Structure formats: C-alpha cells, structure tokens
Amino acid sequence: MLDLTAKPARPLVAASILSADFGAMADDCRSALAAGADLLHVDVMDGHFVPNLTMGPDMVRCLRKHFPDVYLDVHLMVDRPDLFAEPFIEAGANNISFHLEVSQPMRPASAGGIDAAALIDRIHKLGTHAGMVVNPPTAPDGLAAYLDSLDVVLVMSVNPGRSGQSFMPQVIDKAKWLKPRLRPTTRLEMDGGLNPQTIATARNAGVDMIVTASALFGATDRAAVVRALKA
C-alpha cells in the first residue's frame, strides 16, 4: 500500500475512474495502474451538490476486492459527506475528501452545513486520511483552520460534475497560496483538466498529487501520459 504522507513527496498520479469503462472497470483500472498510476481516485456525485450521479460505496468495495493493495482516494461531491464517510471507509477507502462549500460557516448549519472539524476527527479515528476540497470560485482562506489536520488538500481546476473539461488556470494562485501553509506531509492535489499540456503550471505551484481522468483513460499510450504528468 502506498504511504501517501511519506517524505520526500514524489508526485503521485491518481487515476480517476470516472473516465474508465464502467463495463470493464477492473481491467481498465489494472491498465491504468500498469501504466504507472499510483492510486485510484473515486468521484462520488449525489445529483444535489453537482447535477451528475455517479457511484456509491459498493464501487469502492469491489475495487478493494480486486485491488487489495491499491490506495483508494474518495472525492465526495455530495451535500452530506457526514452521512457517507463511514460507509465509504467501511468499504475500503484510504482517503475521504469533502468540500469546503458544504461545511459551516460557508453553508450555515440551518441549511445543512456540516461541522468539518468533527468530520475530519471521525475520519481519522477510523484510521483513514482526510482531505478537503475547494471549487474554482471558492477562496482558500476558509481552509486555514483545518490545514494542520488534513492529509490532502484538493484544489479543483474545473467546476466539478464531469470529466473532460478544460483546465482553469485562475486556480493556480490558490494552489500557490495554500502550498506554504501545508504541513510537509500534506498532499496538494489538483483535479480537472490536467494533461501533458497543462501539468507544468500545476507542478510549478507545488501540486504533488495529480488527478487525471480523460487524459489517461482516453489515451492509447497511457504510460506516456503518466510519464509526462510526473516529468
């Protein structure tokens, strides 16, 4: 199993299964891992936080069965991550990331906003890494209170909802603001529109965990894509 928080932090490539062939999931994941991907990224969408609907804990359970030693990074694009963290951890997730946009005070308690500190604590008590995510329009300072307890900070470089969108360069300043504020063992992850053409700007901002869906699964030479992302 990958030791996510070990130093020195070489860049990791996370294969987002959103662009895999859902009818041949294990084979497609095996191909991505053989091409050099370090871990699998699981995009969970609830049809509320984002309009799209994707996958639940059973996907993670099956991935864990087929890949007992592969790190599973679960990205919860859901309104109520507090209801779903435990089922995904029980199914075999290694990291649970949830959005700042559904956390108090950005979303008030009266509107269902969750207590991020309490959720991070619950995730950690279950022996799992915890991450928080910011969407492109969201300022990063709301994360400041949590940075010392996070294993992963994920900067979205597209508006979440689907793969295959164009990289939004305006999020780079946010990554640069976050990087020096992270613990040395915390990963700075970026997600959306990353490919061999857009990766340099992300890497220069300190990104050391690279999510890729369409660029990787859409390529005929997947190993060449992973090499270019890590170069």
Residues taking part in catalysis: 43, 191
* Cross-strand partners of 45: 77
The residue from 32, 72, 75, 82 that contacts Zn ion (CB under 5 A) is 75
With H, G, I as helix, E, B as strand and everything else as coil, classify residue 202.
helix
Nearer to Zn ion (CB atom), residue 137 or residue 148: 137
C-beta contacts of 142-150 below 8 A and 24+ residues apart: 142/100, 142/103, 142/106, 143/100, 143/178, 144/181, 145/117, 146/116, 146/117, 146/120, 147/178, 147/181, 147/182, 147/183, 147/186, 148/183, 149/117, 149/120, 149/121, 149/124, 150/120, 150/182, 150/186
Nearer to Zn ion (CB atom), residue 17 or residue 205: 17
Q: How far is the CB of 141 from Zn ion (least distance, A)?
A: 22
Overall residue count recorded for the chain in this entry = 231
Q: What is the identity of the amino acid at 69?
A: D
Question: x-or-dash pattern for ligand DX5, window 83-122, by CB under 6 A?
Answer: ----------------------------------------
161 binds ligand DX5 (CB under 6 A): yes
The residue from 43, 151, 189, 208 that contacts Zn ion (CB under 5 A) is 43
Instruction: Select from 2-10, 39-47, 55-63, 136-144 the region that touches Zn ion (CB under 5 A).
Output: 39-47
Kindly determine how many residues on this chain lie close enough to bind ligand DX5 according to the rule CB under 6 A.
22
**Interface residue list for Zn ion (CB under 5 A):** 43, 75, 191
**Interface residue list for ligand DX5 (CB under 6 A):** 16, 18-19, 41, 43, 75, 158, 160-165, 191-194, 211-215
